[in-house]
Amino acid sequence: MSGGVDSSVAAALLAEQGHDVIGLSMQLYDQSGAQSFGSCCTLDDLHDARRVASALGFPHYILNLERQFADTVIANFVNEYVSGRTPLPCAHCNSELKFSTLVERARGLGAQHVATGHYARVEQTPDGRWLLRRSRDLDKDQSYFLFSLTQDQLARAVFPVGSLTKPAVRAEARRLGLRVADKADSQEICFVPDDDYASFVETRAPSVRSGAIVDTRGETLATHAGVHKFTVGQRKGLGVAAPTPLYVLKIDADSGDVMVGPRSALDRSTFTASRVNWISREAPPGWSAATVQIRHRQRAAPGRVRAIDSGRAELEFDTPQPAVTPGQAAVFYDNDIVVGGGWID
Amino acid sequence: MQRIYLDHNATTPPSPAVIEAVAAVLREELGNPSSLHYFGQRAKALLDGARTDVATLLGADPSDIVFTGGGTEGDNIAVRGIAEALEPSGRRHIVASAIEHEAVLNTLKALSRRGWRCTLLSVDESGIVSPDALRDAIGEDTALVSVMHANNEIGTIQPIVELARIARERRAIFHTDAVQTAGKVPIDVKALGVDLLSISAHKFYGPKGVGALWARRGLRLQPAITGGKQERGRRAGTENVAGIVGMGVAAREALAKMAAESSRIGELRDRLETTILARVPGTARNGARDPRVANTTNLSFDRTEAESLLIALDLEGIAVSTGSACSSGTLEPSHVLKAMGLPAHRTQNSIRFSLGAANTDADVDRVIAVLPGIVEKLRSLTRPAVGSRQ
């Protein structure tokens, strides 16, 4: 329970249905107030979660997962930026905290399932496999962030708001008399203050690689203070004057080169992904048709996917797509069913 | 569910007599003790009665008792009041133990930002401050020494008589936070030889939000709260009459029952402690067995997240703590166990059981019956990041 409306309603609906509910909130960073941190899971949010539990009459506890959060999500976040990649911390938080540490803790307390406020659906097939599907609210769908869940994790996951739209969730919150009914949605990346990723990385990385901004022929156009300040597809803040807009095409953390070029050069048809999770069955041999989503809040585009060596997959779009960004997830769907996903190389 | 409360070092339930006394004041006594009329005089008389009861609990003279808003406020008035009074003398050094309550530790942090030098005395595994450590730390410029009477997390009683003597020899003021001993062990401020002693009513079955500070007659203490002349100018503001009356009743009851209760509760505690240590493998007691307040035991459970153990016990109706109750309701590794030099698997996996008046043999039986199974289950299911000695 983050203290937001989605997880509050998720817990409240289960309690109302007569389930034996235990509310758990994760404290993810130091709340002593000396340092300003993120925008989600603050002390106020944790108190909101507590008040929801208290209003509905089930117990609520705050788990201190600061160390685990720092060791997994934040370490990965910093490391990815330093490596010239663009991290996706919410997906790591799901697979490494919510559906691992939190699930383990919950099992220790005798809980059969762990429910969250995610907009996604879990279903079991007649032959016993667990399917992950998109939310009914496609604007809010979070299945993209959940692609790395295993069958065991899905078997224990419950998403009570996954079949609802956001307005319906807010309406439920009002019906239940929850004071969080009109609370604003949280930021996508909760732990970075003021959206200032660069400073966040700089204070935590041992060193950052500075280098040159180069064009597609390798000519230096300018210098820059660190590869962590760039993401593929970025147009603003390049510090280069050019007659036509330039976009970041490629980041090489070893040399420090950030390659820029015109919008048309961003498009790609084929790419690979690593640590691929085929959610409900073994990877099929050869190519399968799929729609492929390469970032949150972006429509999946038609294409195909096939497994290649050592947990990797090759993906191909029917029509080239802009800004295939290393570090983000490539999640492939069969209609609204998540077939699998991996990390873009 | 039958609930068992084993967190009396956090707070105790007010006794029926306390509740009745507080309610009676709220119902029947409307006066402000500073008012000169009939109603004011009645309220003033109630304060005087409570002051005598609290003074008797401490072996003190009633006129040296200042009623406060609780233990934290008493610690603040004492430490800040002495610091401010002695600042012009140029003595700007304070010594305290590293296992003090946050009420003292964070007040020292605030003073060190104002240029005070603070020395924290570390302790060994016994959790008892060594007089030699104080002798080494104290200097010509030491204005104040503050060492708690008993520690809230592990219950160890500190050698206050000896520590206060050392401070006196070096002309330093000595304060003790006696929040965890008041009502549990006999206290005589003169025999202890301290200059200041703070206590809190809700730790001995009185109401929350009221406490007392005893200050040696003639001690110069700058008021931390300024306003009217209440409490001889040391704590301005209209007195919490109902709370103070409740504290007086609690003090009287505690004194009358102290010997019998501490031996009864001590037996329960000892049985709880020895049985857990014997039946649950990978457990250890934190801090010395003696001298300790009779109601407290602090145990570490290897390979068991204290957080999960606390929650699992709470879901079984058994309320314990992982050290000091924290305002955010979350769990930090204990600064007390860290100061004792204990390794991470001990500091992060510790549970405090603190017993009290309502606890019975049946409560101890129940804990002993459910705890080993819970620990075993947690150990089999969880994968603690910290806690393995393997």
Same domain for B275 and B192: no
Same domain, A188 and A213: no
Q: Is 70 exceeded by the pLDDT of residue B71? A: yes
**Continuous segment of H or E residues that includes residue B367:** helix B361-381
* B378/A43 touch (CB, cutoff 8 Å), yes or no: no
Q: In the prediction, which pLDDT does B360 show?
A: 98
Give the total residue count for chain B: 390
Do B151 and B270 sit in the same domain of this protein?
no
* Whether residue B151 sits in one domain with residue B97: yes
Half-sphere exposure at residue B71, Cβ-oriented, CA atoms within 13 angstroms: 27
The β-bridge partners of A271 are A315
Please tell me whether residues A131 and A215 are part of one structural domain.
no
Q: Give the separation between CA B112 and CA B293, rounded to whole angstroms.
A: 32
Nearest to B328 among A31, A59, A110 (CB): A31
3-state secondary structure of B385: coil
The pLDDT value given to residue A156:
93
**How far apart are the C-alpha atoms of B71 and B202, rounded to whole Å?**
9
Confidence bin at A65 (pLDDT 50/70/90): confident
Among all residues of chain A, which has the CA nearest to that of B373? Answer: A108
Considering only CB atoms, which chain B residues are within 8 Å of A71?
385
Q: Decide if A154 is inside a domain.
A: yes
For the record, the structure tokens of B366 come out as: 């129940």
pLDDT attached to residue B110: 96
Other Cβ atoms within 10 Å of A56 Cβ, number: 20
Asked which of B253, B288, B314 is the last residue of a domain, the reply is B253
Phi, psi of A94 (to 5 degrees): -65, -50
Q: Looking at residue B345, what is its pLDDT?
A: 83
Q: Identify the pLDDT of residue B332.
A: 66
User: For the residues A55-62, what does the mean pLDDT come to?
Assistant: 92
Q: Is the pLDDT of residue B382 over 70?
A: no
Q: Please provide the average confidence, as pLDDT, over all residues in chain B.
A: 94
Percentage of residues in chain B having pLDDT higher than 90: 87
Number of domain units in chain B? 2
Please tell me whether residues A252 and A280 are part of one structural domain: no
Task: Give residues with Cβ within 8 angstroms of B270, minimum separation 6.
Answer: none
Q: What does the alpha-carbon distance between residue B212 and residue B202 come to, in Å, rounded to a whole number?
A: 11
3-state DSSP assignment of residue B189:
helix
Let me know if residue B387 belongs to a domain: no
The 10s digit of each residue's pLDDT in B222-234 is 988 899 999 988 9
Q: Is B367 found in the same domain as B341?
A: yes
Q: What is the pLDDT of residues A6-48, one digit of tens each?
A: 999 999 999 999 999 999 999 887 655 544 455 556 778 888 8
Range name among A190-199, A230-239, A275-284 with the lowest pLDDT average: A190-199
Q: In a 10 Å sphere around its CB, with 0-12 CB exposed, 13-18 middle and 19+ buried, how is residue B370 labelled?
A: middle
Same domain, A33 and A169: yes
Residue A69 structural domain: 5-194
Are B270 and B328 within one domain?
yes
Residues A59 and A159 in one domain: yes
Number of compact structural domains in chain A: 3
pLDDT tops 70 at residue A138: yes
pLDDT of residue A240: 86
Q: Where residue A225 sits, what CATH number does that domain have?
A: 2.30.30.280
Query: How do residues B250-294 score in pLDDT, each as one tens digit?
Result: 999 999 999 999 999 999 999 999 999 999 999 999 999 999 999
According to the model, what pLDDT value does residue A64 have?
84
CB count within 10 Å of CB B362 equals 10
Radius of gyration of chain B (CA): 21
Q: How many angstroms separate the CA of residue B332 from the nearest CA in chain A?
A: 8
Q: Same structural domain for residues A62 and A181?
A: yes
- Please check the confidence at residue B389 and state whether its pLDDT lies above 60: no
Do A143 and A233 fall within a single domain? no
Q: Is residue A203 part of a domain?
A: no
CB–CB of A105 and B314 under 8 A? Answer: no
Residues B198 and B243 in one domain: yes
- Residue A183's SS3 state is coil
- Note the pLDDT of residue B340: 95
Cα–Cα dist B238/B250, whole Å: 21
Which A residues in the span 105-144 are in contact with B, Cβ-Cβ below 8 Å? 105, 107-110
Residues A22 and A169 in one domain: yes
Residue B389 within any structural domain of the chain: no
Q: Cβ B307–A108 below 8 Å, yes or no?
A: no
Reference A292, options A329, A250, A248, A345; nearest CA is: A329
C-alpha distance from A105 to closest chain B C-alpha (Å)? 6
- Chain B residues with CB-CB distance to A22 below 8 A: 311, 315
Cβ-contact A147, A329 below 8 angstroms: yes
| A312: closest CA of chain B, how far (Å) | 29
- B95 and B40, same domain (yes or no): yes
d(CA B94, CA B335): 19
- A342, B293, B328 from A43: Cα distances, Å: 34, 34, 7
Question: In this structure, are B274 and B249 located in the same domain?
Answer: no
Q: Does residue A250 sit in the same domain as residue A312?
A: no
Q: Which two tokens stand for residue A323?
A: 């800004």
CB contact under 8 A, B312 and A108: yes
Report if residue A201 sits inside a domain: no
> Is the same domain home to B35 and B131?
yes
ipTM, two decimals = 0.80
Q: Read off the pTM.
A: 0.87
Model pLDDT, residue B216: 97
Find residue A26's DSSP bridge partners.
A63
Q: Give the tens place of pLDDT for each residue, B139-160.
A: 999 999 999 999 999 999 999 9
In a domain, A111, yes or no: yes
Q: Does B390 reside within a domain?
A: no
Identity of the residue in A43, A63, A110 whose CB atom sits nearest the CB atom of B307: A63
Choose the closest CB to B315 out of A22, A27, A50: A22
Find the length of chain A: 345
Q: Is residue A45 part of a domain?
A: yes
Q: Which residue of B has its CA nearest to A20?
A: B315
Contact B328 A59 (CB under 8 A): no
Residues B231 and B174 occupy one common structural domain? yes
- Verify that A275 and A340 share a domain, yes or no: yes
Residue in this structure with the two tokens 């280098």, named with its chain if needed: A211
Q: Which of B253, B275, B309 is the last residue of a domain?
A: B253
Q: Are residues B244 and B262 in the same domain?
A: no
Query: Are the Cβ atoms of A104 and B383 closer than 8 angstroms?
Result: yes
pLDDT tens-digit map of A282-317? 899 999 999 999 999 889 999 999 999 889 999 999
Query: Is residue A89 located within the same domain as residue A130?
Result: yes
Domain coverage including residue B29? 16-253
Identify whether B291 is preceded by a cis peptide bond (ω within 30 of 0): yes
CATH classification at residue A331: 2.40.30.10
Final residue in a domain of this structure, among B194, B220, B253 = B253
Q: Are residues A167 and A135 in the same domain?
A: yes
B128 touches B159 (CB < 8 A): yes
Q: Beta strand B283-285 with B211-215: parallel, antiparallel or unpaired?
A: unpaired
